[in-house]
Amino acid sequence: MKSAKRFVMMVPVPVLVFLFAWAGHRMTPESAPVARGAAYAEVRDCVGCHGDPKNSVADANHYQCSNTNKMTWHPAYDVECKDVMAYFETVRLRRNFDDRAQNNMRNNIDSLLIAGEQLVRKYHCFQCHGHFGQGGFKNAKSFKGYVPGYFGNDFKVLTNNADPASVREWIMHGMDSAILQKPITGRIAEFFFSRQAVNMPSYKSLKSEEIEILVNYVIALNQFGPMTAKTVRLYAEQSQSTERFAGSHNSVTPKTLKLANQYRP
């Protein structure tokens, strides 16, 4: 205790301020509207009425929230409307996946988003990283208590600012060992990785085409950031677009995307 006090007294005040600010920033939990909405709606069976791809009336024109607490026919709710609306949009997206994939096949559209979505569903990536990588899955004894999504500062820190090489390491080996080599933070990371309940599995047995699709898809989802209902609908539109997605890495080619069609979930 005394040595710690001596250390603090020896460090210049600006440095201490920086260190405390840095630590606070790193330790601040992150969450997305989709995850917050899911946490509320999934235990209340809200998707019994909401999230129907063929009926958007129940979702108030998709992402324009209305105060249905004032409507006698609707159960009272205590949650941010925008959060559950974002979640309902992901439910709709999940339910209409086959329609989107078949539309692309009919129109000869090679879509990174569809190819990636096929594979993450096959390998159950969203079960831990949340709907469309939006987080929310608890992870006991981990640094922040949850499995990070594909957005925000958590993702940047773990993947060296969304570096494809780092994302590839995580997918293939369940860890980017470069994190452990960093001074101070490496030891902190090693401590929490060794004790947390859920660790990333290794997918090095996947075909190289699958790995490259997953790398690009994860980075593409990161480009969308914390998804709102409007962002989810933008994703839906871009998943059926002939334009190359701006967040994709050059290693994914149309040939690679076509190979993904055989990996239907």
- Per-residue pLDDT reduced to its tens digit, 66-110: 666 666 777 778 888 889 989 999 999 999 999 999 999 999 888
**Residue 19 placed within a domain:** no
Domains of the chain: total: 1
- Residue 66: per-residue pLDDT: 61
Stronger pLDDT, 28 or 114, i.e. the higher one: 114
- Residue 126: per-residue pLDDT: 96
**Cβ atoms < 10 Å from Cβ of 194:** 9
**Residue 24 placed within a domain:** no
**Residue 73 placed within a domain:** yes
Q: What are the CB-based long-range contacts (under 8 Å, 24+) for 158-163?
A: 162/219, 162/222
Stronger pLDDT, 254 or 114, i.e. the higher one: 114
**Residue 70 placed within a domain:** yes
Q: 12-16, 49-53, 67-71 — which is least confidently predicted?
A: 12-16
**Average pLDDT of the chain, as a whole number:** 82
Q: Which domain holds residue 103?
A: 33-262
**Residue 28 placed within a domain:** no
Average pLDDT over residues 138-151: 95
Distances (CA, A) of 112 to 157, 167, 215: 24, 16, 11
Q: 1-15, 39-53, 161-175 — which is least confidently predicted?
A: 1-15
Does the predicted TM-score (pTM) go above 0.85? no
**Residue 93 placed within a domain:** yes
Average pLDDT over residues 157-162: 94
Stronger pLDDT, 110 or 214, i.e. the higher one: 214
**Residue 251 placed within a domain:** yes
| pLDDT higher than threshold 60 for residue 15 | no
Gyration radius (Cα) of the chain, Å? 21
- Band (pLDDT 50/70/90 cuts) for residue 261 is very low
**Residue 2 placed within a domain:** no
Average pLDDT over residues 23-47: 84
- Band (pLDDT 50/70/90 cuts) for residue 45 is confident
